Structure formats: structure tokens, C-alpha cells
Structure 1
Amino acid sequence: MLQESNYDDFATDYADENEFSLLNAYYERPATLELAGEVAGRKILDIGCGAGPLAEQLIRRGATVSGFDASQAMVDLARQRLGDDADLQVATLGEQLPYGDSSFDDAIASLVFHYLPDWSYALEEVRRVLKPGGRLIMSVNHPILYPFNHRGKDYFQLTQYADEVSFNGKPAELTYWHRPLHETIEALISAGFAIERVWEPPYAKDAPEDVIPEALRERDAFLSFLFFSLRSTR
């Protein structure tokens, strides 16, 4: 089995890249914030908060945000950004979460569930900490990318794989779990979530030209992540 990604190894470089990259700053984060909508007065759990850029935006919009990440280095960076009083913890999605039942109006999981081979307990725990009827907004790697980028691989098999990436100009390796779309949908429904929206969004129109690859400049959208807006039914 491949070694799981350890963000402690490249936390600062990842955080620097995340601030201004097309995929994060002008694609994933704007789409997540649009799905979240009006958040003033809402209590939100930021799952896999990283260095805190999403939490910062939610707080600016009037939300009360708690966050956790499996990486101590990421939580330290988030605390530098959000302040010493920020409600941030080191915790792991897929294990028992350090929050009480019905604690949050919304939970947001940006690009984190695709690190898990089994979503069952993770989704159960997220639903537990949500208030009845609470929302889960999530983004994951688009399932079409695995067979597209790894030619000859079977789309229909749950598969762990690794991608070589670059953060702030430095090489790193990320390890993910690919799951076909039907298994994703089944996991969400079985966990007690109703699917309100599935979205393949465009990238932000205010993205600077120098961060957009030339091949994409004549296009409004591209496939990288898949977004869900879900609501707890229990």
C-alpha cells in the first residue's frame, strides 16, 4: 500500500501555493464559498482546514468557525492566520471528532474525503456533529481524472494512487483514493445525506491571466474537482 500524504512535510510550501494558485484560490475556494452562500450567524466546521484560508473568508462573512486538520504544522499556520483564540484542533477525519452532537449548522470538507478509503464512519461523525437538517458542503477530486491521468486503469475499482505535484516550486507526492461516482453517491445517501446539488463549476472570472494556462484561457471551465451540497436527513 502506498504511504499516506503527510502535510507536515510540506505545509508551508503548500500554504503558499494555496494562496494564489488557480486550482485553490480561483477555482475550489470560490466555488465552495458560493455553495455556502449567506453564512452570517452560522456555526461552521471547517474539515481539513489546512492553513485557514477558507475559515478566514467564512469569518469575514460573519460565520463562527471551528476547524481541524490532521497536520499539526497546518494547524499552526492556521492559528498564525486566525489568531491564538481561534477554535482549531489537530484531529483526523475518519476518527471520532472532538465535538459534541448537533454542534454546527454547516460542515465544509474541501478536498479531504478523497484521502479516505472508507467514508462510512467519517460521514457518520460529520452528521453527528451537525444540527438536524444541517449542511455538508464538500469537494473531492473529480472521479474522471484517475483513468484520464493514469491510462489503462479501471475506473470502477476503488484504488489508491499517487500523483507527483509541485508546491511553491518544490516537488511533493500526494496519495489519494479513487472511487467511482456511483460509490460516492451511495456512501452519501447511506450516511443520511440528501443531495441538493452536484456541481462542476467554472473558475473565477477575476483570476489573473498569468495563473491560467494558455489552453484554458478561451474556456469558462475545466474538470478538476467535483462539488456537493448535502443536507442531513436525520
Structure 2
Amino acid sequence: MASTVENDYDTFAEAYAAENESSLVNAYYTRPAILDLAGEVSGRRILDAGCGAGPLFEALRDRGALMTGFDASTKMVELARKRLGPDADLRVADLAEPLPYPDGAFDDVIAALVLHYLEDWSAPLAEIRRVLKPGGRLIMAVNHPIIFKLLYPEADYFATVKWADEYIFSGQKAVLTYWHRPLHAMTDAFTAAGFRTAVVSEPHPAPGARERFPEELAGKTAFLSFLFFVLEAA
């Protein structure tokens, strides 16, 4: 329907947050991978772009980072505030629009599973570059570009294409809409925005995942899901 809001997390925020507290792809894959890539963060000023209900914000804060976060979903920010406390620096904002932060405000920006919702990366990456200090890092994860080709073998891998998938989060149905782009389009966008690619990672699941999810990981050392980057602001 034309009136449907794409990726309206307000409608399934609680179910999504509950599901991902302990899910394989979030609790045992994405969050550990981001934390590993971030490394020692004590005293670093970090912006969690698309913070959701706040699990990464919390984990980084626990490691000594000075955290700020935003999400486009009002409901997600409400859940994050409940989790993180009234003093947490949280606000409702959209990565597709100008960010409400000054130039060079942060040492790092975390963008975990956010940019793949956007067709245009130019303006969002430029805004992230603007709020990073020189030499700062963008640590990000997006859908691995091979996933689209695996799901749609006849599709053109080299095109930037909109696609959607259906999920069940804690018993609630949700549809998420993404933009597929080939790897070279990602790296070209990084370079155009003034970033240098420092790390490209296809991580293994975290310790304990195999015991927690024996069926999903049977016979696998790793799996394809997301692609992770560390970019440095040139």
C-alpha cells in the first residue's frame, strides 16, 4: 500500500529488541564483531548511528567510551532510554538527513546495520565524515552484497536494487526493505566521502555460538550474513 511506511521500526520495536538480545546474527555475530573492530575505546567519543534499543551503546559505554546515540525510530529511542538511563545522550534523528552534531565531534561513529536501508550513501557518508575528527573511524556493518545474489540468482549483482525480506521477531511479523549495491559501489562511495578503507571483515560467530545454535551452525565454521568495515577519515 502506498501509505505503508518502509522499515517502520516503531511498529515492531519491542519485538525486534527482544529477539536480538540473544539472537545468533545480533548477539553472537554483529555486536561481538563491532566490539572487536572497535578495540580499546576508553575515553573515546563515539556516536552510535542507528542505536536501536541501545545494546551496542551500552557495551561500548561499559568499556569506557563516551557515548552519544540516535535512531530514526522514536520507539527505539524510548527503549534505549529505559535501558541506558535518563542521562544517556540520545535523540531521534535520521541518518538520511543532516545530523544534529557539530563538526569533528567524535572519534568514532558506529553504523551497524543502518546504511543498507538507504539508496543514496553520498549525503549520509558526508555527514558522518563531517562529525568525525580527522583520523576518526567509521565502524560499520551492512548486508553482505552476495546475499542478494544468493536469494535472487537471476538478478543483476552490479545494479543498485531495492529488495525486501520478511522476518518474525519474537512472534511478530515484520518486513524490512533494503538497497543492494555491489561491493565496488560501496568502496567507491567511501572514497568519494573522504574515507580510507582500513579493514574489510567477514567474521566468525562469537565464542559460545556453536553451543547455543548447534543446528544453525552445524558443519559451518562461519556463515555469510553481513560485511564489516573500518574506515578512516582521511
* TM-score between the two structures when normalised by the length of structure 2: 0.96
Q: 1:158-177 CA distances to partner (integer Å, 9 max, x unpaired)? A: 11111011101221100000
Deviation, structure 1 residue 3 = 5.0
Q: State the SS of the aligned residue for 1:58.
A: helix
Partner of 1:139: 141
Q: Give me the whole-angstrom Cα distance separating, in 2, the residues matched to 1:5 and 1:32.
A: 23
Alignment of 1:14-163 (within 5 A): 14-163=16-165
Deviation, structure 1 residue 185 = 0.6
Equivalent residue letter for 2:186? T
| 1:3–1:175 contact (8 Å) kept in structure 2 | no
Deviation, structure 1 residue 152 = 1.5
Q: Give me the whole-angstrom Cα distance separating, in 1, the residues matched to 2:173 and 2:152.
A: 19
| 1:45–1:106 contact (8 Å) kept in structure 2 | yes
Equivalent residue letter for 1:66? T
Identity of aligned residues (%): 59
Q: 1:141-188 CA distances to partner (integer Å, 9 max, x unpaired)? A: 000000111232111111111101110122110000000111001000
Q: Give me the whole-angstrom Cα distance separating, in 1, the residues matched to 2:10 and 2:50.
A: 13
* TM-score between the two structures when normalised by the length of structure 1: 0.96
Partner of 2:166: 164
Q: State the SS of the aligned residue for 2:78.
A: helix
Q: 1:65 to 1:215 in 2, by over 3 A?
A: closer
Structure 2: state its 5+ residue gaps. Answer: none
| 2:210–2:217 contact (8 Å) kept in structure 1 | no
Partner of 2:218: 217
Partner of 2:196: 194
| 1:21–1:211 contact (8 Å) kept in structure 2 | no
Equivalent residue letter for 1:119? W
Q: Give me the whole-angstrom Cα distance separating, in 2, the residues matched to 1:175 and 1:183.
A: 19
Q: Give me the whole-angstrom Cα distance separating, in 1, the residues matched to 2:15 and 2:216.
A: 26
RMSD: 1.3
Aligned residues: 232
Q: 1:48-69 CA distances to partner (integer Å, 9 max, x unpaired)? A: 0000000000000000100000
